[in-house]
Amino acid sequence: MKKKAESVPAKPNIILELIQYDEKDFSSFDQLTVHELLTKYNSSLVNWVNLDGLEDRAIIEKIGEHFSLHSLLIEDITCDHQPKVEEYENYLFFTLKMLYRIEDNKIDYEQISFVLGRDYLLSFQEKEGDLFGPLRDRLRLDQGRVRKKRADYLLYRLIDIIVDNYYVVLDSIGQQIEDIEDEIYKDSSSEQFRKIQHLKKELIYLRKALFPLRDAMSKLIKDESGFIDSSNARFFSDIYNHVAHLIDSLDTYRDLTSGLMDIYINTLNTRMNEVMKVLTVISTIFIPLTFLVGVYGMNFDFMPELHWKFGYALVWGLMLLMVVGMIRYFKYKKWF
């Protein structure tokens, strides 16, 4: 488990980590100053330098100075960017979004940047914590082929873990769509409308993260700088296929979300029509009753029924008969 660095230059929310390995050896350090970390760098091993927290630019610049990183690359690391890949003379730069699913069905995300060299991989994260715990364990226990490969394969594994978690996020969105649809059929309200709008915003963000990522992976596959070993190119091609599949799924969820809005509006219209139908039936029933009481509410002296002792009962009976007859007729017509 990573701990916060105790170095004087680092701020409390900055975490530095160094993992070194080859097929035989493995070592991990997470309580080093920047100077100690860079001193332990060993070009005969694969060096994975991970930094959590981008608030202290001085630390990033010191790492950049050691690895001769371009000043524009430092800017890309510390600023928010769409996924992209850039080739430099001595290293390869790759940045993308890492997504999490957190409480209240909201997506938490951060930008993560990688710098791939011949014998090292630098990773820069905005927040503490990541998805790479199981991979660290596999490295430590020498499980799989990671320890037998170079830094480019490590880059593939890290990107693959991030992209695989996109499936988890999309599955969660799919479940949200099903839940909202059920809620709409039970009781459509402004709360469902708010959830639909929130879903649309999340899908727009995912679109902005996935489409540039597909282009970046395409460029990475075609890399001719030599940083990606030809034997590992097929692994990156597999990630490209995953991203393409995610984009297809994303388009499907966008259509389903638009369908949710249609269902919501149709449900509201249907309920409004039901209300209007009930009110219309009630109004229709009272129209002849109003006419009847209006007739007998006229102030004429010579109205025979006014002085008949059964006149009051007759009017009530006539009104009840009219109500029952109209209700039976409406039911026969299946108007309600």
pLDDT in tens, 87-146: 888 899 999 999 876 666 677 888 999 999 989 999 999 888 788 889 999 999 988 888
Neighbouring residues of 154: CB distance < 8 A, sequence distance ≥ 6: 46, 48, 121, 146
φ, ψ at 333 (rounded to 5°): -80, -5
Q: Sort 204 into a burial class: Cβ within 10 Å, 0-12 / 13-18 / 19+.
A: exposed
CB 76 within 8 A of CB 56: no
* pLDDT of the residue at 101: 67
pLDDT of residue 10: 41
Question: What residues are paired with 92 via a beta bridge?
Answer: 87, 116
The pLDDT tens digits for 170-196 are 888 888 888 888 888 887 778 888 888
For position 103, what pLDDT does the model report? 62
The pLDDT, as a whole number, for residue 267 is 83
> Where does the chain show beta strands of DSSP type E?
15-21, 26-29, 46-52, 84-87, 92-101, 107-116, 120-125
CA distance 322 to 307: 23
C-alpha to C-alpha distances, 294 to 26, 96, 235, 286, 311, nearest whole angstrom: 99, 77, 87, 12, 15
- Under DSSP, the state recorded for 335 is -
Check residue 282 and give its pLDDT: 85
High-pLDDT (> 70) share of the chain, %? 94
Give CA–CA dist 38/32, Å, rounded. Answer: 9
pLDDT at 153: 93
For tokens 């593939």, the residue is 156
Beta bridge partners of 114: 94, 123
Domains of the chain: 15-266 (3.30.460.20), 272-332 (1.20.58.340)
pTM of the predicted structure, to 2 decimals? 0.78
Residue 68: DSSP 8-state: T
Where the chain has pLDDT below 70, the residues are 1-13, 101-105
Instruction: Select from 264, 257, 100, 104 the least CA-distant residue to 178.
Output: 257
Which DSSP string do the residues of 128-169 spell out, in sequence order? S--S-HHHHHHHHHT-TTGGGS-HHHHHHHHHHHHHHHHHHH
pLDDT at 196: 87
Q: How confident is the model at residue 2, as a pLDDT?
A: 41
pLDDT of residue 18: 92
